[in-house]
Amino acid sequence: MMTEFLQMGGYALYVWPSFALGMLVLLYNVAVPLLTHRAALRRAADFHAGRRTNGEQIQ
């Protein structure tokens, strides 16, 4: 029963890689905006604190 499901009627070589690729795309579409948003928040906090991007204080 389970092996029939995993074999997908003989189309497993097409179904499972497609499923994996789809999951990778979905994870990418979630992870990249989160990381970009965090970096933007850090840059904004540094700007408002009067720091340059390399950590130096603005005179």
Rounded distance between C-alpha atoms, residue 8 and residue 16, angstroms: 9
Whether 51 has a pLDDT exceeding 80, the answer reads no
| Digit-coded pLDDT (tens) for 33-49 | 999 999 999 999 988 88
Is 56 domain-assigned? no
Read off the tokens for 35: 């990381």
Question: H helices of the chain, where?
Answer: 2-7, 12-49
Rounded distance between C-alpha atoms, residue 10 and residue 38, angstroms: 44
Residue 25, domain extent: 2-49
Asked if 18 and 25 count as a contact pair (C-beta separation under 8 A), the reply is no
Is 22 domain-assigned? yes
| Digit-coded pLDDT (tens) for 6-28 | 899 889 999 999 999 999 999 99
Is 31 domain-assigned? yes
Domain count, the chain: 1
Is 58 domain-assigned? no
Is 19 domain-assigned? yes
Whether 54 has a pLDDT exceeding 80, the answer reads no
Is 45 domain-assigned? yes
* Residue-level pLDDT at 19: 95
Confidence of residue 55 (pLDDT cuts 50, 70, 90): low
Is 8 domain-assigned? yes
